[in-house]
Amino acid sequence: MNQKMLTDPNENVSGGNVNTLRPQPLGLYIHIPYCIHKCGYCDFNSHLIDQGEMGAYVDALLVEMDHYAQSHSSDREVQTLFLGGGTPTTLPIPQLVRILESAEKNFCFASNSEITFEANPATIGQNQLKSLRQAGYNRISVGVQSFNKTELTLLDRAHGVEEIHCTIDRARGAGFDNLSLDLIFAIPGQTLERWEDNLRLALDKNPQHLSTYNLTIEPETAFWKLQSRGKLTMPNEEHQLALYRRTLEVLESAGLRHYEISNFARPGRECRHNITYWQNGNSLGFGAGASSFLDGTRHKNINLPARYIKEINKQRTAVESQESLKPRRAMGESLMLGLRLLEGISIQQFEERFQTSFDQAFGDIVSSLQKKDLVTIEQNRLRLSEKGLFLADSVILEFIA
Amino acid sequence: MNQRRIRNFSIIAHIDHGKSTLADKLILATGGLQKREMKDQVLDSMDLERERGITIKAQTVRLQYQNDKGEKYTFNMIDTPGHVDFTYEVSRSLAACEGVLLVVDATQGIQAQTIANVNLAAKNNLAIIPVINKIDLPSANADSVKEQLEDILQIESDNAVLTSAKEGIGIHEVMEAVVKHIPHPIGDTEKPFKGLLFDSWYDSYRGVVVLIRVVEGSVQVGTRIHFMANSTEFVVEELGAFTPAPVRIQSLQAGEVGYLIAGIKQLDQTKIGDTITDASRPTEIPLPGYKEAKPMVFSGMYPITGDQYELLRDALKKLKLNDASFTYEPETSQALGFGFRCGFLGLLHMEIIRERLEREYSVDLLTTAPTVIYQIHSVDESTVLLDNPSKLKEIRNIDHMEEPYVLGTIIVPEEFIGTIMVLARERRGVQTKMEYLNPKTVLLQYELPFGEIVLDFYDQLKSSTKGYASFDYEFLDFRTSNLAKLDILLNGELVDALSVIVHKDKAYYQGRELAKKLKEKIPRQMFEVVIQAAIGSKVIARESIKALRKNVLAKCYGGDITRKRKLLEKQKAGKKKMKLVGKVEIPQEAFLAVLRTDGK
């Protein structure tokens, strides 16, 4: 594995030690909760499109952004913006442009900032893509999920195979040189060969970034109900493991670097926005159900778009819950997130952030995990071993208070 | 007080026939408490009792009643526990009475405990007033209950009172019947003080509180009293009665019931059944007293983490202050470390102690499967009592082993006779009696090894008879049996805390079942876990729990973080409740797996 660091180890990403000379990095997330259709496996905060509501929703977003900008924009520099969903491209393009313009007006953006939007195949045309590129969006993440017709049907996706190719080609044509594709594996009935076909078809598109997600049946989803009625059977654990191993082989040999449990990228094209989450850095989330994390406090907005709009119109915020963790739990959370990255966590940064000795807090746990060959410590970084990668949750559990 | 105006009685009943509700209504009707002060079932004071709807500690209240003729009476109502584990407490309460109210559910008729209770009352020569309760229910059949009373229990049913305690029907009639049919006490007030100690408990403010029934003479505040069995002396500091609120009284006289406080510091300084007398003017002949309740069921109690050992020890010590019938002593298990071997009257008693330790003392506890006590006879004719299966290996030159037997009484609708016979045979029971109580109801008696009963017999009985069977048992004797120790090995290492004593004829079956159950109960680990059941060095069953190979969440982004962390924290809390034995994490349920091996 290529062990080039994702970030300069000297750069403070934690927000703990304030460097007054430099503005602090900040990620912005904007949630568009609308979809043309809810897929069977989806447990995101997504709702069917509602033309009557969507205009008011964008207005509310801008109000919320304005509110937080007043208190948080002055000493921070936005490094990344991520427009996710739902399906952001269910909104009219001018609205997407308007959201970005408003963000840039309210916050101070770094010159090389990463500005991503998610798009589902068949929801966007060539000219619209061009407009978004011109407006300043410089990264597109396409929700492909599968290049196989049977699998798309099983996943309950609203698009076909042709539409995937078409959307990706259009994005390239519109000037998006930073392209990410999402794929799902461990779909019932998926053989190793069929999954490898999917990976090859994805690689043919020369993506800068690939996310491959092991299908997970989440409570209350349509798939959950099917499974509990015996109408859907997940591949067994051995097969899921084989699919995951194959993913690593195929993608790494194609020159993509495995940098997070489910994410791969050409060197330098890792998703900087998501890395902010895994490094437990500061981010502001706008929109229904969005989460923010600022200086140790996390808050989450109301999920339901209609209620979100109502609250914003009333008081400019729509926070549903908020938490500030005590140090021991916060440490557990930082490790939970940081160990998802293949480069692991910097022990030095951890100690600076929590003003504590890592060895004193976790030395026993680490040495027991080292003996089991589940983690390694090299160059003062704690990382999952290859064996530990497949058992990440069990390893992380050890660090949880 | 004029003894002719005193009535001392208990209420006895099969579980759920309405004893506590009737007691509550009697307290209400006599003005012992105003309605707004009444919590349901006031006599069941502990939370646990209220939750489980059963009475554990007997309590006593003094009530004032004015009858239809305008005469004033004092009722001493002595509550009794309603579970087979606590039969001995029933018998000690009855020793303080002249009569009982026998409550029978009009919809269910006579049940196993009804019979056991009536036998106890008859042994004490008590007057019995049948109270046929729940007559408001559509399926009530008072006439059929009356027939059963006469035919099966030889109790005159003419005096039976029909009630619905819940609806307050017949309460007045019950009180009139108490006056009319229960004899008043007849103790000689001039004789030296002679009192029966029938209950005691520890109060953290007052020390030991003793309940007494004065049989002869009287006792005053300031009297120097002598406990005859223990040969200890104390000076009476306070006398009184519970109405249910405690009310101080200067003296208690022959025929009266009340409490006594005398600066007694430890519960074991008072022996239930002891005779109390005046130290300066002692009675000559003590009361017969009764047999002490001995623990019948044993299990190991271990803290999940070693640092809670002291906490557990202190908690056990405090519980013991309030419950003389439970025992504990330190023991060490290779698998579980330092803990205690505890003795209980029965399974319910064990459950109650366990819950109190966790709830009131916040000890994270691991309990091993219950076992009965075995007598091990060696060739040199010495006998050892075995209360922990894993200790069998320490006993040399074993000639033979004996296990305790009980006489089990089961009452069921006749369509379940076959079911009961199969169940009893599986449990090595021998039928000694079968009698139709009426054309639809049968009484069956079996001599059963007690060890078979502690392993989930009651639950099996209930589930295989749709809840209709009622069950009670009494201890018979120890009998020679062909017994063996069944061991469990995890990854080749013996886990002593999982050893059980089984009958050799059933050893293979139980070994296989136990291994299977353990496979279900032990979660997957990051390595393979091999479960073996063995007798001596012979492995008789093998199961394996495959290693966890993949456990990784695909996604974790901004919005997932809190949820994901909480999920892990919850998992961690569950993991902390597991005991690490060697390298294997074992949950509590696994240690009780043997309880479920007969489950179909």
Q: Is the CB of residue A370 less than 8 Å away from at least one CB of chain B? A: no
Measure B362 CA to nearest chain A CA, in Å. 19
Q: Which chain B residues touch A283 with a CB distance below 8 Å?
A: 558
Q: Which two tokens stand for residue B62?
A: 């003094």
Q: Which chain B residues touch A394 with a CB distance below 8 Å?
A: 526, 548, 551
Of A298, A389, A396, the CB nearest to B562: A298
Q: Is residue A1 part of a domain?
A: no
- 10-residue averages of pLDDT along chain B (600 residues): 92 87 88 57 51 52 90 90 68 88 94 87 92 95 92 89 94 95 94 92 83 95 93 94 86 94 87 90 84 84 91 90 84 92 89 88 90 93 92 88 94 94 94 90 94 86 88 91 95 94 92 93 94 95 95 90 94 90 90 67
Q: A396–B554: do the CB atoms touch at under 8 Å?
A: no
The rounded distance, in Å, linking the Cα atoms of B551 and B558 is 21
Give the nearest chain B residue to A239 (CA atoms): B550
Mutate to test the interface with A, among B528, B555, B563 (most CBs of A within 10 A): B555
Q: Is residue A250 part of a domain?
A: yes
pLDDT tens for each residue of A362-383? 999 999 999 999 999 999 999 9
Cα radius of gyration rounded to whole Å, chain B? 27
A43 contacts A220 by C-beta, under 8 angstroms? yes
Cα radius of gyration rounded to whole Å, chain A? 21
Q: B568–A340: do the CB atoms touch at under 8 Å?
A: no
Q: Is residue A34 part of a domain?
A: yes
Q: A389–B572: do the CB atoms touch at under 8 Å?
A: no
Q: B556–A332: do the CB atoms touch at under 8 Å?
A: no
Same domain, A273 and A384: no
Mutate to test the interface with B, among A118, A245, A260, A277 (most CBs of B within 10 A): A277
Q: How many CB pairs under 8 A join A and B?
A: 96
Q: Is the CB of residue A374 less than 8 Å away from at least one CB of chain B? A: yes
Q: What is the 3-state secondary structure (H, E, C) of A370-384?
A: HHCCCEEEECCEEEE
The rounded distance, in Å, linking the Cα atoms of B403 and B480 is 6
Q: A214–B557: do the CB atoms touch at under 8 Å?
A: no
Q: What is the per-residue pLDDT for B596?
A: 66
Q: Which domains occur in chain B, in start order?
A: 3-181 (3.40.50.300), 194-278 (2.40.30.10), 297-369 (3.30.70.870), 375-481 (3.30.70.240), 484-593 (3.30.70.2570)
- Nearest Cα to B216, choosing from B252, B242, B247? B252
Domain boundary among A229, A256, A278: A278
What is the rounded average pLDDT of the residues A39-68?
Answer: 93
Q: Residue A12 above 50 pLDDT?
A: no
Of B549, B557, B561, the CB nearest to A241: B549
- Residue B5 has φ and ψ, to the nearest 5°, of -105, 20
- Nearest Cα to B82, choosing from B20, B154, B171? B20
Same domain, A111 and A28: yes
Q: Which chain B residues touch A278 with a CB distance below 8 Å?
A: 556
Mutate to test the interface with B, among A182, A223, A291 (most CBs of B within 10 A): A291
Site of tokens 């078409």: A166
Q: Is residue A329 part of a domain?
A: no
Measure B563 CA to nearest chain A CA, in Å. 11
The rounded distance, in Å, linking the Cα atoms of A302 and A291 is 10
Q: What is the per-residue pLDDT for B360?
A: 85
Same domain, A116 and A252: yes
The rounded distance, in Å, linking the Cα atoms of A108 and A86 is 27
Q: Is residue A61 part of a domain?
A: yes
Q: What is the per-residue pLDDT for B56?
A: 41
Same domain, A259 and A352: no
Same domain, A212 and A360: no
Give the nearest chain A residue to B565 (CA atoms): A333
Give the nearest chain A residue to B574 (CA atoms): A397
- Nearest Cα to B425, choosing from B501, B487, B505? B505
Question: From chain B, which residues contact A within 8 Å (Cβ)?
Answer: 526, 548-559, 561-562, 564-565, 568-569, 571-572, 575
Same domain, A68 and A213: yes
Q: A397–B526: do the CB atoms touch at under 8 Å?
A: no
Q: A290–B572: do the CB atoms touch at under 8 Å?
A: no
Task: Count the alpha carbons within 13 Å of B340 in the hemisphere toward its beta carbon.
Answer: 22
Question: Please, what is the Cα angle at B588 between B585 and B591, to 5 degrees?
Answer: 95
Give the nearest chain B residue to A244 (CA atoms): B550
User: What DSSP letter does each residue of A44-68 carry, written as one string?
Assistant: SS-EE--HHHHHHHHHHHHHHHHHH
The rounded distance, in Å, linking the Cα atoms of B516 and B542 is 8
Same domain, A117 and A214: yes
Torsion sign, CA atoms B459, B460, B465, B471: negative
Give the nearest chain A residue to B525 (CA atoms): A394
What separation, in Å, do the N-terminal and C-terminal C-alpha atoms of chain A show?
Answer: 31
Q: A285–B559: do the CB atoms touch at under 8 Å?
A: yes
Site of tokens 């209400």: B28
Q: Which two tokens stand for residue B506?
A: 């059933």
Q: How many CB atoms lie within 10 A of CB B292?
A: 11
Give the nearest chain A residue to B569 (CA atoms): A400
Mutate to test the interface with A, among B525, B556, B566 (most CBs of A within 10 A): B556
Q: Is the CB of residue A83 less than 8 Å away from at least one CB of chain B? A: no
User: Which strand (E) or helix (H) includes residue B406?
Assistant: strand B398-413
Same domain, A259 and A355: no
Identify any residues that bridge with A384 across adjacent strands, giving them in sequence order: A375
Q: B526–A374: do the CB atoms touch at under 8 Å?
A: yes
Q: Which chain B residues touch A282 with a CB distance below 8 Å?
A: none
B422 contacts B467 by C-beta, under 8 angstroms? no
Question: Please, what is the Cα angle at B306 between B303 and B312, to 5 degrees?
Answer: 40
Q: Is residue A148 part of a domain?
A: yes
Q: Residue A253 above 70 pLDDT?
A: yes
- Nearest Cα to B76, choosing from B90, B89, B60, B92? B60
Q: Which two tokens stand for residue A381?
A: 């970084």
Q: A285–B556: do the CB atoms touch at under 8 Å?
A: no
Domain boundary among A256, A278, A300: A278
Q: Is residue A321 part of a domain?
A: no
Identify any residues that bridge with B331 across adjacent strands, giving them in sequence order: B339
Q: Residue A393 above 90 pLDDT?
A: yes
Domain boundary among A249, A278, A307: A278
Instruction: Estimate the crossing angle of helix A305-315 against helix A51-72, to 10 degrees.
Output: 50
Residue A28 CA to its chain's centroid (Å) = 12
Q: Is the CB of residue A213 less than 8 Å away from at least one CB of chain B? A: yes
The rounded distance, in Å, linking the Cα atoms of B253 and B251 is 7
The rounded distance, in Å, linking the Cα atoms of B332 and B339 is 6
Q: Is residue A249 part of a domain?
A: yes
Q: Which two tokens stand for residue A173?
A: 């044509």
Q: Is the CB of residue A241 less than 8 Å away from at least one CB of chain B? A: yes
Same domain, A123 and A255: yes
Same domain, A81 and A194: yes
- Domains contained in chain A, number: 2
Pairing outcome for strands A139-145 and A179-185: parallel
Q: Which residues contact B288 (CB under 8 A, 6 or more apart)?
A: none
Measure B534 CA to nearest chain A CA, in Å. 30
The rounded distance, in Å, linking the Cα atoms of B431 and B427 is 11
Q: Residue A105 above 80 pLDDT?
A: yes
What separation, in Å, do the N-terminal and C-terminal C-alpha atoms of chain B show?
Answer: 61
Q: Which two tokens stand for residue A174?
A: 């519109």
Q: Which two tokens stand for residue A216?
A: 């997970």
The rounded distance, in Å, linking the Cα atoms of A186 and A372 is 27
Predicted ipTM of the assembly: 0.92
Burial A309-326 (b: 16+ CB within 10 A, else e): bebbeeeeebeeeeeebe
Q: Which chain B residues touch A261 with a CB distance below 8 Å?
A: 552-554
Measure A241 CA to nearest chain B CA, in Å. 6
Q: Residue A293 above 70 pLDDT?
A: yes
- Nearest Cα to B19, choosing from B27, B172, B180? B27
Same domain, A391 and A242: no
Mutate to test the interface with B, among A184, A271, A333, A389 (most CBs of B within 10 A): A333
Q: What is the per-residue pLDDT for A176?
A: 97
Q: B549–A337: do the CB atoms touch at under 8 Å?
A: no
- Cα dihedral B508→B511→B513→B516 (10° resolution): -130
Measure B584 CA to nearest chain A CA, in Å. 14
Q: Which amino acid is at A254?
A: A
User: Which strand (E) or helix (H) includes residue A293?
Assistant: strand A291-294
Q: B558–A283: do the CB atoms touch at under 8 Å?
A: yes
Helix (H, G, I), strand (E, B) or coil at A107: coil
Q: Which chain B residues touch A400 with a CB distance below 8 Å?
A: 565, 568-569, 571-572
CATH number of the domain residue A162 falls in? 3.20.20.70
Q: A391–B571: do the CB atoms touch at under 8 Å?
A: no
Q: Which chain B residues touch A401 with a CB distance below 8 Å?
A: 569, 572
Same domain, A274 and A351: no
Q: Residue A86 above 80 pLDDT?
A: yes
Domain housing A387: 347-401
